[in-house]
Amino acid sequence: MKKQLITTVAAAAIAVSAVVPYNVLSTPVAHAEEQAKPNYKNRDEIPVEYKWNLEDMYKSKAAWEADVKKAEDLSAKFKKNHQGKIGKSALNLTNALKDYAALSVISDKAYVYANLSFDVNQSNSSLQALTDRAEKMSAKVSANTSWFKPEVVSIPKKEIERFLRNKMTAPYKYFIKDMIRTKDHTLTKQEEELLAKVSPLNDTGSGVYAMLAKDVKFPMIKDSSGKDVQLTRSNFISYMESKDRNVRKQAYEAYYQTLGKFQDSFSQTLTAQVKSHNIGAEVRNYKSALEAAVVPNNVPSKVYDQLISSVNKGLPLMHRYMELKKKMLGVDELHMYDIYTPIVEADETYIPYADAEKMVLEGLKPMGEDYVNTLKKAFDQRWIDVYSTDDKATGAYQWGSYGSHPYLLLNYQGTKDDVSTIAHELGHAVHSYMSSEKQNYFNSNYATFTAEVASTLNEALLWNSEYKNAKTKEEKMFLLNQRLENFRTTLFRQTQFAEFEEAIHELDQKGEALNAETYKKVYGDINKKYYGKAMAADEEIPMEWARIPHFYNYNFYVYQYATSFAASTALSKQITDEGAPAVKRVKDNFLTAGGSSDPISILKGAGVDMSTSKPIDQAMQVFEETLNEMEKLMNEK
């Protein structure tokens, strides 16, 4: 069971989505039939073809309730029949795994159905009750199965190796090995119980940050018309994108100067998280908090360091891009508050959903007829919930359960970004669909490290198609700028964050004091390194660490945005250069692989070895080619 939020939504607070330029006017795309933008007040007004068909999961509420009850009963039976017995023989372990899979398929399906139902109609109290019932079911299942992994891990090494040589365990071999892989970092039963009891304290820093961020009040600023407006966390980026440079400067200075007044509170909160990570790593016998965060996901820590090292080598290209931005904006000095403002005017012509569908299908043709047919199935068989209403969940995601097709939630507004979002979520959907068809339950669930590769690959292929079909200089410049900004906000910016995370954890591990001044010095130096001499040395930007929620809410997570982007960029280039052989590699070794092996091996089979610098180098090559093309068009008369 996997719920995939789109990258721009998941990272909304840390990575500004592609900026669309304003001082070069683009030519509107001519649509076959201009349509007014739909405005549905409630779900009943939306035509059925634009609403997902949850009857594919359950024909009735009674059928759903039967599965909820069945899942609870099966979980109790699972505990009764298997607890304390799985280490006695390969047969016992195999039977337990079969029953665990059967139970999970039912409970996952019931849980997903309830939440999908609620997400499109959140004002409906009966659907809220449905999700509450699903949560209780899930909690009961978890309680009855929580013993399972610890008991598998506790099987003596010689015994588990003997079990794995038995043919009956073959379908579950990787899953078992993955469970016991971190056995050396598993503590005694009493120690694990103690850690479980104090584990809620690990989230204290995250909770304090959420409250602190909510309670910080920002001052009034003047908008472009001279009117006093309230600056908030939610509208900050919109003011940073303003065409009026004075508005941008006001918002920027007011925002970070306000955060500076609370710098000691923010620093104490962040330090609590850092120390929690380092203590947890030490207790579990890891060399570092970084290793403790990535190794359980079966990713070597060298992949993290390789990313930082490789991106650092590509920083001269980033500096060159900043010089180009400075030139295109026509400013004497480039400041951090300038980089979000558009430099090519966006085409705001409404794109009807039918046209968006055609654009996506056309863009993803390089993936082959079978891939496109699966996309058509998603469109035609109502896997997608398209339009927004006031009580619908915001953003976009793909979700589903084993044995049922994926579902996509959209809030389609007819923009170019919305078209890209469709391609992105369909990437997740096809990945899930193909993995579930090929793999058993345990091996179908792909890792976070690979999750965003399929989705961003679709975005890259769609971009290639749009650029190929662009008719005017303005359209091309818009698309080139979009791609350059995607590189800046994803490959470079997320790696910048990753470098900061590693640096502050290492400082604490060495026993050095962590405080607001330390964080500002480390962050300011890294930011200066990434943006180069073209960027003015603003005194406010060293406080940006206080604005990034991922530093407080996650543990060495953001690097995966960068690695996924690099991997998909490299794969899209291979598909463009090689055609069918590259597509076959991606399908056979990645899209159908699920979690049947470690993520590095899966991506290597597809054609990208993330343990080396090659995928990053290939991505940098694409960035340089895009930069060359933009500079060429800029110089054309």
Candidates 284, 89, 296; CA nearest to 188 is 284
Active site residue 425: yes
Structural contact between residues 52 and 88, judged by C-beta atoms closer than 8 angstroms:
no
* DSSP β-ladder status, 384-385 and 407-409: parallel
Q: Count of CB atoms within 10 A of residue 623's CB?
A: 23
C-alpha dihedral (630, 633, 635, 637), degrees to nearest 10: -160
Name the active-site residue from 72, 425, 474, 540: 425
- The CA distance from 230 to 223, in Å, is 9
Measured at the CA of 10, the angle between CA 7 and CA 15, to 5 degrees, comes to 70
Phi, psi of 228 (to 5 degrees): -70, 130
Sign of CA dihedral 125, 131, 135, 140: positive
Which residues does residue 229 pair with via DSSP β-bridges, in sequence order?
A: 221
Provide the b/e sequence for 136-145 (b: ≥16 CB within 10 Å): ebbebbeebb
Tokens of 29: 């795309």
Tokens of 306: 């390789």
Contacts of 64 (CB under 8 A, 6+ apart): 58, 110, 113, 114, 130
Structural contact between residues 301 and 201, judged by C-beta atoms closer than 8 angstroms:
no
What residues act catalytically? 425
